[in-house]
Amino acid sequence: MGQDQTKQQIEKGLQLYQSNHTEKALQVWMKVLEKSSDLVGRFRVLGCLVTAHSEMGRYKEMLKFAVVQIDTARELEDANFLLESYLNLARSNEKLCEFHKTISYCKTCLGLPGTRAAAQLGGQVSLSMGNAFLGLSLFQKALESFEKALRYAHNNDDAMLECRVCCSLGSFYAQVKDYEKALFFPCKAAELVNDYGKGWSLKYRAMSQYHMAVAYRLLGHLGSAMECCEESMKIALQHGDRPLQALCLLCFADIHRSRGDLETAFPRYDSAMSIMTEIGNRLGQVQVLLGVAKCWVARKALDKALDAIERAQDLAEEVGNKLGQLKLHCLSEGIYRSKGLQRELRAHVVRFHECVEETELYCGLCGESIGEKNSRLQALPCSHIFHLRCLQNNGTRSCPNCRRSSMKPGFV
């Protein structure tokens, strides 16, 4: 298969893929990979295979193709291709919750010689890195990366990237519990989809609706949460988007749990769990088990709750997610308190405080915790976060955490 035919077949696959004939598209692309001797064509087709497998949630295959793509890029001896393939490798590891590897491959990307592609892909590298830092609950570093990605998006008029960063920022603020911002950013993403997204894949709309659903649920607007989640799920089902289906099922379950309808919540947690296990989203599994444990606590079935917590704790430690560990210790603390088991209770209190230290989830001005209850937060340009009210009351010009005098004039 020569250059022209390779090009044609890649295009044919893309058309099939875009009209939802995914399996047929994969067949066409696999044949190109088998038959084509054109290196650039092979590189492109590997990129298509990486994206398609990512969207289907087949993350192990995604990783496999990304690795082959790097070899092809090396053969081509081209820095742009190398960058693109390392970004794919970083993303595959991000999806598989291998956050340290993700960060290391992103750093490889940023260390490659500056090219035109570097200017275009730099934002995506920063986004992936931010997602990985968020996975590790390194909040300041995550925010720093997201803001960098946002700057790339603005400088390059890349609305698609901005949309994705806004969704990640929604997730960031949901985790540190500034629910107002947790809703603001995905709403902004939905706005971008409305304004610029005529030709975009529907997954952007689905993604923004999902993040809005999460924020509405946290704010207690359960009707709006349900509406957004249903919209997101509809698209995820149409597109065979397994990863998003799993997240929506988790969100449905959380909504039912918030309503006190545990009977309806349990089967949804089960369905979410089975998809997340299938695709290898271990962080998602931690969230599911956390929800399940809360349901058991509500039913006063404390031993069942402890079982779920134990499984979740193992997974959270495996992927290095500190916030999950923190929440699980907090939940355990309550359970052992009501059981009157002092020794176990104290052990969890100690581990809980270690997690708080490691995640730096406290305000450097008042010393009180961040992420315990909904409160308005504000980041300084150094990406350290504080209570908004503390910044307003103190009028400080330098960050008390890093002592860097980095506040923009007129900020307060």
The C-alpha torsion from 311 through 314 and 315 to 320, rounded to 10°, is 150
Kindly state the smallest distance separating residue 126's Cβ from Zn ion, in Å: 28
Shortest distance, CB of residue 214 to Zn ion, whole angstroms?
A: 25
The CB-of-28 to Zn ion minimum distance in angstroms stands at 57
- φ and ψ of 387, to 5 deg: -65, 135
Residue nearest to Zn ion (CB): 363
- DSSP letter at 362 equals B
Toward Zn ion, which CB reaches closer, 287 or 375? 375
Q: How far is the CB of 178 from Zn ion (least distance, A)?
A: 12
Q: Is the Cβ of residue 43 or residue 386 nearer to Zn ion in the bound state?
A: 386
Q: Which is nearer to Zn ion, 10 or 363 (CB)?
A: 363
Measured from the CB atom, is 302 or 407 closer to Zn ion?
407
First to last CA, the chain: 64
The minimum distance between CB 365 and Zn ion, in angstroms, equals: 5
With helix as H, strand as E and coil as C, how does 143-157 read?
Answer: HHHHHHHHHHHHHCC
- Identity of the residue, 107 or 397, whose beta carbon is nearer to Zn ion in the bound complex: 397
Task: Count Cα neighbours of 9 within 13 Å in the Cβ-side half-sphere.
Answer: 24
User: Interior CA angle at 320 toward 316 and 326, to 5°?
Assistant: 60
**Least Cβ distance, residue 390 to Zn ion (angstroms):** 3
CB of 117 to Zn ion, least distance (A): 42
Between 315 and 361, CB nearer to Zn ion: 361
* Calpha distance 60→264 (Å, rounded): 32
**Which C-beta is closer to Zn ion: that of 152 or that of 386?**
386
Which residues are near Zn ion by CB under 5 A? 363, 365-366, 387, 390
CA torsion sign for 235, 127, 194, 227 is positive
Nearest of 137, 203, 148 to residue 175 by alpha carbon: 137
Answer yes or no: are the C-beta atoms of 86 and 67 closer than 8 Å. Answer: no
- Nearest distance in Å: CB 401, Zn ion: 11
Return contacts of 260-268, CB within 8 angstroms, 24+ apart: 260/298, 262/295, 262/298, 262/299, 265/291, 265/295, 266/292, 266/295
Cβ closest to Zn ion, residue 118 vs residue 366:
366
Cα Rg of the chain, angstroms: 22
